[in-house]
């Protein structure tokens, strides 16, 4: 079983930056694909960025050029560097993990079978 714990959320003004972290433990290694999702009340969970076990990355169009996903396999930690934040980035952010052999696209909700509890990001104008 995989456990994921997010941290680093908070409140910032538009144009600011935040760095989210996701500490992973349990039966997980570098062969896992990992991703960040976000969700606002009343809407579905949206894929933001993903990094596969081979290091390839995927980003939602809305965050390309502003967000960077990275992973430290030695520390079992996933990161999301968020720059030039906008009010529309306000959401609960979730870390997710899936075995590399799982199907579906990198930013598809259905690909991932392990989820953290989330960390809130609020961007004010």
Give the span between the Cα atoms of 108 and 28, in whole angstroms: 20
pLDDT at 26: 86
pLDDT at 1: 80
Radius of gyration of the chain (CA): 13
pLDDT at 96: 97
What token pair was written down for 14? 């538009």
pLDDT at 101: 83
17: left (phi over 0), alpha (psi -120 to 50) or beta: beta
pLDDT at 48: 98
Query: Can you give the length of the chain in residues?
Result: 125
Find, among 116, 104, 106, 107, the residue nearest to 26 by Cα.
116
pLDDT at 95: 98
Low-confidence stretches of the chain (pLDDT < 70) are none
Give the span between the Cα atoms of 94 and 22, in whole angstroms: 9
pLDDT at 44: 95
């Amino acid at each position: 079983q995989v456990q994921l714990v997010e941290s680093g959320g908070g409140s910032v003004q538009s144009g600011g930056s935040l760095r989210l972290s996701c500490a992973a433990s349990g039966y997980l290694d570098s062969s896992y694909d990992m991703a960040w999702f976000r969700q606002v009340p009343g809407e579905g969970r949206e894929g933001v960025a993903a990094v596969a076990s081979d290091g390839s990355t995927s980003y939602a169009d809305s965050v390309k050029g502003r967000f960077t996903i990275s992973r430290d396999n030695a520390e079992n930690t996933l990161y999301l560097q968020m720059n030039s934040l906008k009010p529309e980035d306000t959401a609960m952010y979730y870390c997710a993990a899936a075995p590399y052999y799982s199907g579906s696209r990198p930013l598809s909700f259905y690909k991932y079978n392990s989820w953290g509890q989330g960390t809130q990001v609020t961007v004010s104008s």
